[in-house]
Chains A and B, each alone.
Chain A
Amino acid sequence: MTLTKSVQQKADIIVVGAGHAGLCAAITAAESGAAVLLLEVSPKAMRGGNSRHTRNLRVAHQAPTATLDGAYSEAEYLQDLLTVTSGNTNQALASIMITESEALLTWLGAHGVTFQKAISGSLNLEKTNAFFLGGGKALLNSLYHRAEALGVDIRYETEVLQLKLCDDRFKALSCDHRGQRTYIPADAVILTSGGFQANEDWMRSIWGKAADNFLIRGTPYNKGLPLKDMIRHKARLTGDAKQCHAVAIDARAPKYDGGIVSRLDCVSYGIVVNNKALRFYDEGEDYWPKRYAIWGRLVAQQPEQIAFAILDSKTVGLYMPSVYPPIVANDIKTLAGLLDIDPFALQATINHFNHSTCSGEFQAKTLDGLATQNIEPRKSNWALPLDTPPYIAFPLKPGITFTYLGLEVNSTANAIGQSGKPFPNIFAAGEIMAGNILGQGYCAGTGMTIGGVFGRIAGREAAACL
């Protein structure tokens, strides 16, 4: 704490991180009459953390709404959640999130966020997920607009370095704005600063050198400093410190912020090889939406953290257009040359794979059971031989969406100490505590629901302790 150069006037509540959760917290606290300071590490043009790249939130509802088809009961929601997390979920917190989800949808609407009309065919999400019109950045713009109108003091390019606590009570924090260190006291703090996937040192400490080859799908600003500082203050943690949500994405994507356009969904219809031209996992194990989240880890385990999806021209049109053009060649060896892998090895792998395929009916949209025989690893569905040029390849790298490690919280969003006692005026919402509910796996749109519901709770509770 000796670094601080200037001391600022006290705020009622400081919110650290201005993504979806931080804005929900800041707006709720400001509406309760608190003077709120919202600190955002990014410049204004890139504000909002990973919420910039989101698109929808998952909402339980009894009847169709303007933005959701059908009904989605709380029980169904919980079941879907427990399926992906294998029970790695604090059910009390999950129930709060689910129960409050519809009220969150209404609240966002009342705060200027617009949603798309119920759309059909979006990975079958029209019943469960409400889509932000224009995506996450449009949602953020509306919430920023509302926060500014409420007089929330928003400071960009301000990185929080350390929290100062006294007997488990938050007293002040130190932050850096373009090299200027400032020390700001407040009555409560709300941490909505996300995970640490963009912290290269931290990632390397877990993954070793492999981390250098990871692409970060979202913001480069999630360094996890507030999380790290809470670990120093002996906060109780949740989620596996060594796990992150990793998707296989196009290897040509930028290191940070590539977002949605770097995704690929072609894996099921071809084979995937590493840079030794060897297959390493069942490409047709299940529907892609149920498998994409394991492929990041699979690719991360390969040499140099790179792999190649290889397809032929029979399946063109079955997968989404990618932002990067396919790598195309008329024969396997030329393709291998373009990918910089051993042409003979690739030819051998494909010959072997082709020999293991069986005759049967290929059905792109169902688990067609068209499996290989006598090959390891097997391909359980959609196992067509690769025999129709031109051949097509996409390079794959692990794309990190978020890290699971976070702060344990209670039902009022208070962070909890190792003794089990809550920190009375330290709250957490969003990705930094999502691990309480999403202990592993991912359930589309749940992250934004957690952020919104617990952001509002944190804002309300922080204002109540003034």
Chain B
Amino acid sequence: MNKIENLLNIDVSSVDPSVEADRTLTVCNACRYCEGYCPVFKAITYRRVFDNPDLDYLANLCHQCGACYQACQYAPPHEFGIDVPKALSLLRAENYARYAWPQRAGKLFQNNPTWLSLITGLCLALLMYLSNASVSIDETTDSGNFYSIISHSVMVAFAGLTFACASIALVLGMRRYWQAITDKATPSFSLAALNKAVRAGLNLTHLSKHNQVGCPGDSEGPSPWKRYSHQLTLWGFLLCFVSTCTATAYHYLLGITAPYPYQSIPVLIGTLGGLMLLSGTSGFIYLKFNQRRAMQMGQLQLDLTLTTSLWLIALSGLLLLVLRETNAMPALLLVHLGFVFGFFITMPYSKMVHGLFRMLSLILFYAETEDAVGDPAGSE
């Protein structure tokens, strides 16, 4: 009968995340004090009741900045026990598995993210090592030459295959999500809305707006450090990707083969990207263990698996650069590439998908905001 009363005394973690998100946002929709904070609170005013794809969409709009929790008159120990960031975080985690393609892989990964990432990385490293034994080494065996350890064709085959698998699974998963959230009404899309969404997504506008003050050790108050860590990680990751693309262009278009000198473009970009990625993920790991709230948000293992594997990839990549002329190189190379390719193959099921879920949600949000007129706010 009464979902508020029925859920008052239930341990939230044992409840279906959709049910808890519905209960939470129903309270929010009757309150609306947070409407100035972020798109979630604007988007709920367009709705009277929330069904499942609606809730998924709203969950993925949330950037988990925490401002609404700090401001909430119904936060625990109030008997309503409202915690919007946590309720939506739990639902997002469930979404990553539910919309994944194939769904079974998503669920499997979600249950054991850390072990699966580790095992995938190590298996790929081993496979590459074994593949190499059967492939004749047609390059020179100079020190610092990666192809003397793993032949170029094996490397390309692994890279191409893992990247292709990841891309296909990602596209199919995201298509499934997009179809679900736009099922009831497809808003009219404009370039302006798309532009706003992409800008807001890449700038993390909705993570930063109300978190301009605070320090990384602050366990309760607002802090801009999560955004700093995120931006270092994101742009560091993208720079590493650009570095790889540049190196590919060097190889195929310019005919210049690796190893590239330290002052070459791929190495410079890659080094910068690697350092950013290393510091960004270090920041995340520090915040995770030092902000009491961050530990309780329901995605701890997914988050740590992603940040730790990116951290390892960055560290092994940088070490590889520094130690490429020593005899640590072969082992480092196998580990680095194993984790890079492992990262790609698990990407459609890992926390990496949050960026795509969120971007699609932002696109829908800015589109429906141009269309809709919400209910007026109330007051006392």
Q: Across the interface, name the chain B residue whose C-beta is closest to A138.
A: B71
Give Cα distance in the complex from A457 to B368, angstroms. Answer: 47
In the complex, chain B residues whose CB is within 8 Å of the CB of A444: 379-380
Tell me, in angstroms, the Cα distance from A141 to B69 when the chains sit together. 12
Q: Which residues of B contact A (CB under 8 A)?
A: 1-5, 26-27, 29-31, 33-37, 48, 67-68, 70-80, 210, 221, 375-380
The prevalent SS among residues of B at the interface is loop
Chain B CB within 8 A of A252 CB:
yes
A151 to chain B, nearest CB (A): 18
Residue A56 CB within 8 A of the other chain: yes
Contacts of B37 in A (CB 8 A): 133-134
Establish whether residues B73 and A136, one from each chain, have CB atoms under 8 Å apart when the complex forms: yes
Contact of A116 among B4, B36, B48, B221 (CB under 8 A): B36
Q: Determine how close the nearest CB of chain A comes to the CB of B280; give it in whole angstroms.
A: 28
Query: In the complex, what residue of chain B is closest to A256 when comparing beta carbons?
Result: B79
List residues of A (443-463) whose CB comes within 8 Å of B's CBs.
444-445
Instruction: Count A-side interface residues using an 8 Å CB cutoff.
Output: 44
Contacts of A133 in B (CB 8 A): 36-37, 71, 210
Residues of B within 8 A of A135 (CB): 31, 33-34, 71, 73
Q: Give min CB distance, A252 to chain B, whole Å.
A: 6
Q: In the complex, which residues 248-265 of chain A have their Cβ closer than 8 Å to any Cβ of chain B? A: 252, 254, 257, 259-261, 263
Q: Which residues of B contact A121 (CB under 8 A)?
A: 376-377
Cα distance A325–B221 in the bound complex, in angstroms? 34
CB proximity to B under 8 Å, residues A39-80: 45-46, 52-56
If the complex has contacts A122-B379, A135-B73, A259-B31, are A254 and B2 also in contact, measured as CB distance less than 8 A?
Answer: no
- Closest residue on chain B to residue A115 by CB atoms: B36
Partner of A261, one of B31, B71, B79, B379: B31
A252 engages B36 (CB within 8 Å): no
Q: Given A134-B36, A323-B27: A254 and B73 within 8 A (CB)?
A: no
Contact of A325 among B1, B77, B376 (CB under 8 A): B1
* Contact digits for A250-285, partner B, Cβ 8 Å, 1 yes 0 no: 001010010111010000000000000000000000
Q: Does A324 contact B (CB under 8 A)?
A: yes
Instruction: Establish whether residues B73 and A52, one from each chain, have CB atoms under 8 Å apart when the complex forms.
Output: yes
Instruction: Identify B74's interface contact among A56, A259, A401, CB under 8 A.
Output: A259
**Cα of A116 to Cα of B71 in the assembled complex, Å:** 14
Does A322 have its Cβ within 8 Å of any Cβ on chain B?
Answer: yes
Q: Are A260 and B3 in contact (CB under 8 A)?
A: no
| Closest beta carbon of chain A to B211's beta carbon, Å | 12
A121 to B36, CA, bound (A): 14
CB of A125 closer than 8 Å to a CB of B: yes
Q: Please measure, in the bound complex, the distance between the C-alpha atom of A260 and the C-alpha atom of B27, giving whole angstroms.
A: 10
Residues of A with C-beta under 8 A to B67: 134, 138
Is B36 a contact of A261 with CB atoms below 8 Å? no
Tell whether A145 is near chain B: CB-to-CB under 8 Å. yes
The reply to whether A122 and B74 form a contact with Cβ atoms under 8 Å apart is no
**Cβ contacts A116-131/B at 8 Å (1 or 0 each):** 1101111101000101
CB distance from A39 to the nearest CB of B (A): 21
